A and B are shown apart, each in its own frame.
Chain A
Amino acid sequence: MKALLKFELYKIFSQKSVLIVFALILLVLSTLTLYSTFSSSFYYGKQEMISAYKQVEGKLSKEKYERQEQEFESRTKKSSSKEDLAYGSALIETMSEYEDIEYYDNLISRIEQDLTIATGFNYESLLLQKLMLEQIDLNETYFHKGPEKMMDYVSAFGYMITGILILIGLSSIFSNEDVTGMDQLILSSKNGRNKLVSAKIITAVFFVISIIGVQLLYNWGIYSFLYGNDGWLVPLQKSSSFMLSPYSLNLFEYFSIQMILHTLFSIGFAIFVLLISNLCKNNYHSIIISSVVFVAPMMLSFFNLIQMSNVVQVAKFIQIDTIIQYSYTYLMKVDVLFNRFKVFNFFESPVLGSIAIPTVFVLTTLFFTWLLYRTYERKEVI
């Protein structure tokens, strides 16, 4: 089994196309990121931003801001240096954070009102939401641009890069054996059925973990270079894409959960790709079918976005939004599980989406894994 695994790893990792595509993507992405950051009028330099924030960091208070704002305005009347600009934007950002606190307070009191008339499942889920929101403490502010960008990486680029590499690297893992005629030797050999599937699954998992690992390093490298590494302990809600999130997590906690779930969903997608590869006799069919499954949700939501009226109508009719939400593509972004309050009704008690969806996902993936073993066990060379 060890020797078999080594060969499977070799076969997957020696595919030059995967390495080349991976390197190219990261190169292009780096160029774009660096170019757009340095040419942006909102980037004032890492050190400048950190020291500007130092002046506003700490406990939020209305008086403090009003004082600082007035002082800032009188000072910048004469001239505005890079440091001043950084300071100004830090001030504006922290002021908007102050508004967020008001939003949460309002939300909690609204829920309290609703609770007085709600019953059953509704009551339970409102109660859960209230309890969660009460855990969140947004009263302090700290510079956290680095961690925030690293978090956004997965939902902006990471999911797509991982998906594309899985498609290129793994979609021919079984079908290529048919193409080369090796299936005749493999399927008639002692370890060529069950043990080989295990070896290929382990290989796929290893592959997924490696490409995510490399991206993790890349992501950390480029954004700590641009924005530094401070702010991991800031609450999740301080990141703009999670303003409405009910989860009381800091950026580091969320980032860890995100990486674990991204890996889990990516492995699930890889297993799906393996299953398709096993059912196809031809590498092209395999990659096309899997790619359609991966790309279709993006296309559909794009059409939805640009409001192509007839597409939208069809989409509404088949509840496309729901399907898209639970597609591999969107789950691999992970953020959809955490950016708002979502519960499922499980025998009249509320179960959080962030628990229910990964659970169902794991069960589905286990089923696909079983199906993969099952179909391969009975595979015939036709």
Chain B
Amino acid sequence: MKLKVENVSKQFKDKLAVSNVSFDLTEGVYGFLGANGAGKTTLMRMLVTLLKPSSGRILFNGKDIDVLDEKYRDVIGYLPQYIGLYKNFTAEKYLMYIASLKGIEKEKAMKKVDELLEVVNLSEHRKRKVGKYSGGMKQRIGIAQALLNDPKVLIVDEPTAGLDPKERIRFRNLLSSISKDRIVLLSTHIVSDIEFIAKEIIVIKAGQLIHKDHPESLLDKIKDKVWTVTVDENEVPKFQAAFKVGNIVRQNDGVGLRIIAEDRPDARAIQAAPNLEDLYLYYFDQEEMIK
């Protein structure tokens, strides 16, 4: 199974949101990393046929998804960044409606709805109107609807936004448990979401693909650029002005800073093993970073 993005661009009126992006996806989880406005949603919408590329094409197993049409939409599952709901539908009815859109026959749909409500832990709220759901519950029902048709290609746009830490962990485990035999593409600007489950990480900045690699290889690229240093509290602003500063921790003997820099930022600094957060910081500006 292969999903191939080939020289894809998307131009909105006066904005080039995605610029000549190419990559291939096969079975496994892919982390799609980029700051707000980088073009993640736009690219994902093209992958689920909600937008047509201005140029380039997207191939599923060698065939243009525009030509495959229904056949392609039959194998995808999509969770949008902001999920759509009918407020006065109960969870059950909502899922049955999506199932009818996906062309799943009634008996099978009912079984699948039961099963997925269980998976996302909403069984006891199945008769409640989704308009009354909390943010986290909406996100969970969103995940359930994406999985109704056992999609071969699962595309989830910032699925963990609005989830509390416990729910995030649950979600991460769920994704990695279903990722076998599927292509899963998950966008986020939260590094820890994908740190341990992504087979590859795709980094996108201002509509352009800058890296696509295994997490280890990506980390390898910045292995001598991460430093830690313990400084006096009043030195902190100076460092923040001069370098990309990540974690700041108060310690007994001062303040510990994690710094991304090409060269040793200070005589006291020592090299540290890079993690994805450092990677993110390396590519994106600090204010965009959310831990």
Contacts and interface: CB of A to CB of B under 8 A. Distances in A.
Contact of B102 (A187, A191, A380, A382): A191
Given A189-B98, A189-B102, A191-B100, A183 B73 contact: no
Contacts of B69: 193
Contact of B78 (A185, A380, A382): A185
Interface string A1-22: 0011011000100000000000
Interface of A is mostly: helix
Contacts of A189: 73, 98, 101-103
Nearest to A199: B100
Interface stretch (B44-52, B177-185, B277-285): B44-52
Contacts of B101: 4, 185-186, 189-192, 196
Determine which residue in A184, A187, A381 has the highest number of CB atoms from chain B within 10 A of its CB, and name it.
A184
B98 A185 contact: yes
A188 B78 contact: yes
A182 interface: yes
A181 interface: yes
Nearest to B109: A3
Nearest to B45: A381
A74 interface: no
Contacts of A188: 48-50, 73, 76, 78
A190 B51 contact: no
Interface in A168-200: 177, 180-196
Interface stretch (B82-90, B163-171, B235-243, B256-264): B82-90
Interface string B87-107: 100000000111111110110
B145 interface: yes
B74 interface: yes
B100 to A, nearest CB: 4
A382 B13 CA distance: 11
Interface residues of A, number: 27
A186 B50 CA distance: 10
A184 B41 CA distance: 12
Contacts of A191: 70, 100-103
Contact of A185 (B84, B87, B96): B84
A184 B84 contact: yes
Contacts of A195: 103
Contacts of B109: 3
Nearest first, the 6 closest Cβ-Cβ pairs linking A and B are A181-B84, A182-B84, A3-B100, A189-B101, A188-B48, A381-B50
Interface of B is mostly: loop
Nearest to B148: A189
B140 to A, nearest CB: 15
Interface residue range, chain B: 20 to 34
Interface of A: 3-4, 6-7, 11, 177, 180-196, 378, 380-382
Contacts of A380: 50-52
A183 B101 CA distance: 11
B55 to A, nearest CB: 15
Contacts of A180: 84-87
B149 interface: yes
A190 B149 contact: yes
Nearest to A184: B80
Contacts of B74: 190
8 contacts: A4-B101, A7-B97, A177-B84, A181-B84, A182-B85, A187-B50, A188-B49, A380-B52
Given A7-B97, A382-B51, 16 more contacts: A3-B99, A3-B100, A180-B85, A181-B83, A181-B84, A182-B84, A184-B83, A188-B73, A188-B78, A189-B73, A190-B73, A191-B70, A191-B100, A191-B102, A195-B103, A381-B50
Nearest to A179: B84
Nearest to A180: B84
A215 B47 CA distance: 48
Determine which residue in A3, A189, A191 has the highest number of CB atoms from chain B within 10 A of its CB, and name it.
A189
B71 to A, nearest CB: 8
Contacts of B105: 3
A238 B149 CA distance: 64
A309 B76 CA distance: 62
Contact of B80 (A6, A177, A185): A185
